[in-house]
Amino acid sequence: MVRRPARPSADAAQDPGPMVRRPARPGVDAAQDSGPMVRRSARPGADAAQDTGPERIYVLTGGRGGPAARTRLDLVTLVVAIGTPWQSSAVTQAVSAQRRLFPEHLDILRRCRSPLSVAELSAHLRLPFSAVAVLVEDLLRAELVRTRDAVLPAVPDPALIEEVLRGLQRL
């Protein structure tokens, strides 16, 4: 076994040394755990609803690189739509014109009829986290969504961890 070098007292003589490495086992091969991937940006010219390339993101965010500092949206901030059912397309169009909303804003409102994290919105909309955060901030300012804040204090409440523990034990 390889040893972490940090500790001077570690005895190298006990190290069994490097071992022959087994090929990746089935089920955990590179295809399944490929980690981060560099992607080619979407081609320009795709239609607006599908286009998530840099030009579309620039239009959506107005060039804003991320939400204003005061909002502090996190990957796991839960977003919930307020009130309006957003079912009638006529109503939706009228509201979106009045509020200057993009189709992506409306998509967020539809998806957030039940709570959804910013990370999930990013996945469903195929937009980077920072772009979704800007859109959610727009909706917060328009009072069309509310958020439930996520970031924990440095030392979380034991009662909360107990709740997590009980939930995991029920799985």
Which residues from 117-136 bind another protein, rule CB under 8 A?
A: 117, 119-120, 122-130
- Minimum Å distance from CB 5 to another protein? 7
36: Cα within 13 Å, side-chain hemisphere = 1
64 binds another protein (CB under 8 A): yes
**Given candidates 39, 43, 70, 100, which one binds another protein under the rule CB under 8 A?**
39
Closest CB 143 distance from another protein, rounded Å: 19
Q: Does residue 38 bind another protein (CB under 8 A)? A: yes
Please name which of 56, 74, 69 lies closest in space to residue 120, comparing C-alpha atoms. 74
Strands 116-117 and 145-148: unpaired
Residue 1 vs 97, nearer CB to another protein: 1
Which of 84, 85, 94, 110 lies at the binding interface for another protein (CB under 8 A)?
110
**Under 8 Å between Cβ of 91 and 106:** no
* Closest approach of another protein to the CB of residue 149, in Å: 9
Selected binder of another protein within 13, 33, 69, 90 (CB under 8 A): 33
41 binds another protein (CB under 8 A): yes
Cβ closer to another protein: 124 or 141? 124
How big is the chain by its Cα radius of gyration, in Å? 23
Could you say which of 7, 43, 70, 100 contacts another protein (CB under 8 A)? 7
Measured CA to CA, the distance from residue 123 to residue 75 in angstroms comes to 11
**Local structure of 2: helix, strand or coil:** coil
User: Using an 8 Å Cβ cutoff, are 52 and 127 in contact?
Assistant: yes
* Cβ contact 111:124 at 8 Å: yes
